[in-house]
Amino acid sequence: MNARSLQTVRKVILFVAGDGANSVAATRNLALLQRSTECPFELEVVNVLQQYQRALQYDVLVTPCLVQVEPAPRVMVVGTLHDLDKVRAALQLPPEMPNAAAS
Amino acid sequence: MAPTGRTPVPGTTGRATTIAAIPKAPTGIRGLDEVLLGGLPRGRATLVGGGPGTGKTLLGLEFLCRGALAGEPGLLVSFEEGADEIRRNARTLGWDIDAFERAGSLVLLNLDPPIRAQQTGDFDLGGLLAILDGRIRDAGIRRVLIDAVDVLLRVFQDPRREEDELILMHDRLVGQDQTVVVTVKASGDALETLHRLEYLADCVLRLDHRVVGQVSTRRLRVLKYRGSGFLSNEYPYVISEAGIVLMPISTIGLNRPGTGVRRFASGVDGLDQLVDGGFQQGSSILVGGGSGTGKTLLACTLAVAASRRGERVAYVTFEEGAEALSVAVRSAGVDLRPAIESGNLQLMMSVPETMGVEEHLWQVIQLLERFRPQHLVVDAISACQRMGAKAAAFDFVVRLMTECKARGITCLYLNQVDPADLQEVSGIGISSLIDTLLVLDQQWPEDEAHLRRLLVIKMRGSRHAHGWNRFRITDTGLHFAPGSASVADQPS
């Protein structure tokens, strides 16, 4: 990923709780999103069961939860990220490229 | 207090069932532990529902602070009020939250539920549960307050999901042996959540705020308590500078003074021989009479005499200020100043209209606790009706009476009544609870001098005078004519 070439570095954190079904689905959907966008982002996955302080820092009460930390303002999308178009819209990513689809 | 041996008290329908052996966590809230027969269920969840301004958060906060003092660290999770707001509220009640926080005995978490976040696909309270687990583990938490849980649950927009998550959170906290208090608004959309939680919780308290007779009254009721008895009345409470205070009517004090009770001299010339040698310490005495019949003078004479014996007297007046009272009785030869200066007499001026019954009662009880008097004068109970309705006066008088009985304090109630109507002498229907009932009267016969007289209507356990007894008020006080008494042979 080459974030430095862009004017604003897009940073997102995916908060999951262990490896439950919702966590697995969210991780998979986010991977799909990464592959289907021309706009790269830095991704960090935080397991709240191991790092509750991080959840506290970002007011993450529900999981899975995707937080776009940069650019400001902070954006939050909760759930398994099932509807990728909704995620794109929330993060203000460009529309989907051809040949890529959400699961 | 013992749950057995209660006698029914007029105006109440409360009953106490047996204390079960389940472990309890005292709230430390005055009166509440009495109603809960010891406290909230330890290691279980209690639901506190109530409308805005009922003091739900305060109740929970006090529960945490008392726990912090007792070596049980607390965690406050708020979804509505900011941490600063909570600290400020606690400070007004004299709780130094900051000190608790520094000592690690109280942890405040103000969390913002993702109400405005985009939602796509399923999610659960994994983040919150992880935060709770982590904080409980790291800070050694024993008590948890989840404040305004209805605000959090709004993110689910689905009653069944709400319920699933509630059960999960409940089981997780209780599984870690936490004593939990959850507050929910009892209004609007939150009502549905409240009812679901009532089913889940082991103990359910309902707070309510309403206006009765133009005076606002807060009431608490225990709706359920699994595995334990509780007092099932509705209990009025006040939010005072000392936090939440309940004053459940105590029936301990209603035992009548038996024979062999200490009698004390009234200080009124010739009166003691009419009342079997003196009034009984710890009894309740009601003096009825019209305006200007000498009720206040009688009470002040008793107070001065008691003060000379080194006894303390609390004098609550609803009619006039301390100075006005002092001046009024001085002209009749009763000087309150030495009693006040010696510290044996404390006057408390109160305006009935300014507060409800609970606030008044709390003020007087605080005076009783601070000052520890042997005698209390209330001048006059007829004014108590101005605290709200007629029922308010009854409530005030009866509950104050039980508080005094429990402490062995003599209660001297003055009551301004129409002298023509002796049946109405107790005015607000308390005569059956009164040990000694006196009436003062005055008349202006055409061919005679101004006639003042006293009637002892009843005096429990005493051989008292029957019939009217004449007395005079001079510049040296009240004087009963010697030999005017017609003393009964049998105690009444």
Q: Is the pLDDT of residue A35 over 50?
A: yes
Q: Is B383 left (phi over 0), alpha (psi -120 to 50) or beta?
A: alpha
Interface of A with B (CB under 8 A): 15-18, 20, 22, 25-26, 29, 48-49, 52-53, 55-56, 59-65, 75-83, 86-87, 89-90
Nearest to A62 among B126, B133, B134 (CB): B126
Average predicted confidence (pLDDT) for chain A: 84
Distance CA B76, CA B79 (A): 10
Distance CA B154, CA B18 (A): 39
The reported pLDDT for the residue numbered B1 is 40
- One pLDDT digit (tens) per residue for chain B, 492 residues: 434 433 333 333 344 444 446 899 999 888 899 889 889 999 999 999 998 888 899 999 999 999 999 999 999 999 988 888 888 888 888 888 899 999 999 999 999 999 888 899 999 999 999 999 999 999 999 999 999 998 898 888 888 888 889 899 999 999 999 999 999 988 777 787 788 888 889 999 999 988 766 667 788 999 999 888 888 788 888 888 778 888 876 544 455 544 457 899 999 989 999 999 999 999 999 999 888 899 999 999 999 999 999 999 999 998 888 888 999 899 999 999 999 999 999 999 988 887 778 888 889 999 999 999 999 999 988 888 777 766 777 778 888 888 888 888 999 999 888 766 655 555 566 777 788 989 999 888 887 788 999 999 888 888 888 888 999 999 999 999 875 544 444 444
Please tell me whether the overall predicted TM-score, pTM, comes out greater than 0.95 for this model.
no
What residues pair up with B441 in beta bridges, in sequence order? B453
* Contact call for A22 and B124, based on CB within 8 A: yes
Across chain B, how many H-helices and E-strands are there?
13, 25
ipTM of the complex model: 0.86
Helices B159-175, B126-139: crossing angle, 10 deg rounding: 20
The reported pLDDT for the residue numbered B18 is 47
Distance CA B375, CA B410 (A): 4
B129 touches chain A (CB under 8 A): yes
The reported pLDDT for the residue numbered B5 is 38
* Contact call for B118 and A77, based on CB within 8 A: yes
* Contact call for A87 and B152, based on CB within 8 A: no
CB B86 within 8 A of CB B97: yes
Distance CA B433, CA B394 (A): 11
B158 touches chain A (CB under 8 A): no
Choose among B364, B54, B86: nearest CA to B239: B54
